[in-house]
Structure 1
Amino acid sequence: MHIVQRYFDAFNAGDTATMLDCLTDDVAHHVNEGNIRTGKEKFSEFCDHMSRCYKENLTDMVVFDGAEGRRAAAEYIVNGTYLQTDSGLPEARGQTYRLPAGSFFDLRDGKIARVTTYYNLADWVAQVS
């Protein structure tokens, strides 16, 4: 199984430990809005925060492989529920949302060394407001 597919299968299962196992120790996590987080500890903290505020399942996944196994990308639909108000965002009241997203990866030694995720934040805000 491709490491990116394993990562997303773990995401959908809520299995942060397996997600972390897919990453290099020095993983660079580029989030849609915010600073780059470096390392598994920062990634784990991000996952804990996201699990408190959101319940998400990714569907319609297409994984792309390129650059002789050094790069990959994925396109998917985020199906979510907004569970707890996230700082600086609209109030959470259990709203559901559905929006397209994409992630880009650098791969090294069979692991993910960079994760960059993009989605339309304005679309998400409109759906939960």
Structure 2
Amino acid sequence: MSIETIRAYYDGFNAGDLDAMLDCLSDDFVHDANEGARRDGKAAFAAFCTHMNRCYKETLTDMVIMVSEDGTRAAAEFLVNGAYLETDAGLPEARGQTYVLPAGGFFSLEGSKITRVTTYYNLQDWIKQVS
């Protein structure tokens, strides 16, 4: 079931459907982003996603999902195809710049729910693309 959970999570992301993403998460969910502090819980993650959706319009393509034999760990590799819509604090000025950025996510799962997502991308590559 875990590959379906990861796929549903990213399908929700691509559709801009935060509720669909939140439905994939456990109540004790944690989010570790490439840059920044850990977010504990669905509410903190929802606030993060709301902020990101205001500043960026992104679609993930070329998705490859891998799941451990016991279904408790997963990884996904993909391309982030985005547009920078609104200047994010501490980053270059947004002017609608587009970018394509390789990225990945690592997951912990319990049953059919995601308990942790850790996201990685090359921030310096992104800055170079939008500067």
The aligned runs of 1:42-57 (5 Å cut-off) are: 42-57=44-59
- The structural deviation recorded for 1:25 is 1.1
User: Taking structure 2 as the reference length, what is the TM-score of the superposition?
Assistant: 0.97
Return 5+ residue gaps in structure 1 as ranges: none
2: CA distance, partners of 1:116 / 1:67: 20
Among all aligned residue pairs of Structure 1 and Structure 2, give the percentage whose two residues are the same amino acid.
63
- The structural deviation recorded for 1:109 is 2.1
Aligned to 2:63: 61
Q: Which amino acid aligns with 1:101?
A: A
Aligned to 1:100: 102
Aligned to 2:120: 118
Runs of 4+ in structure 1 deviating by more than 2 angstroms, as ranges, are none
The aligned runs of 1:72-83 (5 Å cut-off) are: 72-83=74-85
The alignment's C-alpha RMSD in Å is 0.8
Q: Which amino acid aligns with 1:58?
A: L
**SS state at 1:68 partner:** coil
2: CA distance, partners of 1:121 / 1:114: 21
Return 5+ residue gaps in structure 2 as ranges: none
Question: What is the count of residue pairs matched by the alignment?
Answer: 129
Which of 28, 31, 52 is residue 26 of structure 1 equivalent to? 28
2: CA distance, partners of 1:68 / 1:4: 15
